[in-house]
Amino acid sequence: MARSSPETPVGGAHGAHAAHAHCCAADHQTEFTAQPGPIADNTFRIPTMDCSAEESDIRRAVEPISGIRGLHFQLGQRTLRIDATPGAVELALEAIRKAGYVPAPMSPSSADANQSHGHDHSHSGGYVRLAAALVLAIAAEGISYFAPDTLPWNTFGMAVATVAIGLAGLETYTKGLKALRLGRLNINALMSVAVTGAFVIGQWPEAAMVMALYAIAELIEARAVDRARNAIKALVDLAPSDAEVRQADGTWQRMPASAIAIGAVARVKPGERLALDGVVTKGTSSINQSPVTGESIPVDKEPGDPVFAGTINEHGELEFRVTAAANDTTLARIIHAVEEAQGTRAPTQRFVDRFAAVYTPVVFILAVAVAVLPPLFLGWEWLSSLYKALVLLVIACPCALVISTPVTIVSGLAAAARRGILVKGGTYLEDARLLKAVALDKTGTVTEGAPKLVAFRTWGGSPANEDDVRRLAKSLAARSDHPVSRAIADGLESDVLDVDDFSALPGRGVAGTIGGEALVLGNHRLVRERGLADEKLEAEMAAHEAQGRTVTLLAGERGVLGLFAVADTIRADAAEAIAQLKALGVAPVMLSGDNEATAQAVAREAGISDARGGLLPQDKLDAIRQMRERYGAIAMAGDGINDAPALAQADIGFAMGAAGTDTAMEAADVVIMNDRLGRIAETIRLSRRTHAVLWQNISLALAIKAVFFVLAVFGSATMWMAVFADMGASLLVVANGLRLLRGVER
């Protein structure tokens, strides 16, 4: 699986021509080759752009203009961002207007408001109109069935049917005629031709019923599709719009989050959500961070700890210093990244678009052939053949086929985000199923990333007891900022004594005098240099070092007093996470810059059979290439900063524990917002499930099309049956795609 950009290339497939007004649950983005000159970034709202068919019209109108850098469509918000030279922007707007659309400029604030309110339903108030259309269509059917077949009744029935078609199909006809004028076939064009043809050949009751059923089914389908969109929109609503902020006079005032400056001190009470990111300055509490990290277990917070917007304060009042503006919080960056991910198209979606671009014209040609050839060569009646052709036009709509992929992808992205897994595009969501191996950085990924005291014992026949050794060692270690010394000081429970003549011994340890006794706290080298290492001590140190531990010794005038082993311990869930990867058939490989002995020791404890130590960044890149040759598609998991080259080299890069880290969010393709290594296996499982649902939907849509194609030509399928089948298939694939959200709705 080669690493590829998820963006749609210029001149790529435009299968959206065949999509109907709501076959557009995902957004699309087109990137252009960079051209010289300044860039003007402009965002416009286009109210009538609610489908990828409209997007295709606009793209065709704007692409030929010189100076266009990129077109970034957000169909969910009906917006288009144009990256272009200033002069090209005006030309692009004029081209959009000529194509029949009215672009309106958007300010950043209006863009934010638009995102906050989600999809805009221009037909939200159309329930009464569609109900009236359905009643009139039923009345037309009744007139045709029960009334005498006389001119006055037929005229009256045709008038009723005409009103029903007008109430239900005005928008369809408007868009359909525009598509036909441009020489394009979409569902609006097909329905316009089919309904008009049925009316002309005397099937006016059926024409009215088909248009009413189509409009109602389209509205129901739009609501179903919005559920996938709203799963993303729900993230926006997690952070409250205001917060209590301390004023200069010490009082507290509730202010809009957007007006709160970085550095201000805010307050959150028990049970409230945090409006902004910050660092705790006063109070202790437990914070439910599941909206950001996906963790269901609350995390204890005290002064100095970070907190994130959208999380819930379980108990205890907290004051925190604001560290990010409302539009730049961790939650805001997650929302932005997910919205950008919706703008990418997964491989299956690109395939379906290409297929649909060919499918619709082919079926249209077949419909024309059915209308003309059988009467000429098989003796069929012209009206019968024409009616069958009109039924085929309705069946030609690839609604269920086209809508099946974006709804499923958006649902998968939303499901991942609610679990604290930020997948930066449908390509990575779908391709994760192909992974055969995962390269894991050791420090901070398999291990905690911070050394801890894991073993301590007194040494030799000195008269010092264990408490004395603890006290002396902690007193020296507490004076040093070295990570090993800090781990010893934090791991020993004891009071601290005064230290005189304290000094650092570079590369060896520290020294000082306590109670008149000269002491050193140092490494293996220091003890050897002082002649204090006997055979027994050497063996003890070697045993610890074989386990990947760093040994530190406390020594004084009485000889060696104590031995301390420090190690970077593996994560509590590491062994289980590795087992999950193996169960999925994915080989875990650990890559570490630490020495070989340490790497092997950690790997054994985590259950990893393939571990490589002593690797420089370039060595990790070479290891990634070797793994690809051996396994095929591979991923790299690291902290997203020092592992950035390896993350970029892998087919999919996972950044671990990236909550609040800008660099980590940018460095990888999948961002694990917490430190749970098991999320990698969960991503692979979600990818496999998403891919399965995609092909279930495609198979279902094509099977229904095939059955009704045969019925239309050789059976007794009617137009309203075809509408039911087409829209029913669309609703089925939408519902199937939404299954990915099950269990993650909040």
CA-based nearest residue to 214, from 307, 117, 317, 133: 133
Q: Is 497 strand, coil or helix? A: coil
Structure tokens, 498: 């005064």
Q: Which residue has the tokens 């850098």?
A: 69
Cβ proximity of 614 and 595 under 8 Å: yes
Cβ–Cβ contacts within 10 Å for residue 528, how many?
A: 13
Can 441 be counted among the known catalytic residues?
yes
CA-based nearest residue to 581, from 607, 599, 605: 607
- Across the chain, which distance is largest between two alpha carbons, in Å? 123
Length of the chain: 746
CA-based nearest residue to 686, from 406, 410, 415, 293: 415
4-12: long-range contacts at Cβ-Cβ below 8 A with a sequence spacing of 24 or more?
Answer: 4/427, 5/31, 6/344, 6/345, 6/346, 6/425, 6/426, 6/427, 6/428, 7/31, 7/344, 8/345, 8/350, 10/63, 12/350
Question: CA 161 to CA 159: how far, in whole Å?
Answer: 5
Q: Which residue has the tokens 């130590």?
A: 613
CA-based nearest residue to 632, from 694, 566, 571, 585: 585
Phi, psi of 555 (to 5 degrees): -140, 155
Cβ proximity of 536 and 563 under 8 Å: no
Strand order through the sheet with 517-522: 447-458, 559-570, 550-556, 517-522, 509-514, 500-505
User: Which of these is catalytic: 441, 594, 639, 669?
Assistant: 441
Cβ–Cβ contacts within 10 Å for residue 32, how many?
A: 16
Cβ–Cβ contacts within 10 Å for residue 457, how many?
A: 11
Helix (H) or strand (E) run with residue 565 in it: strand 559-570
Q: Which residues are catalytic?
A: 441
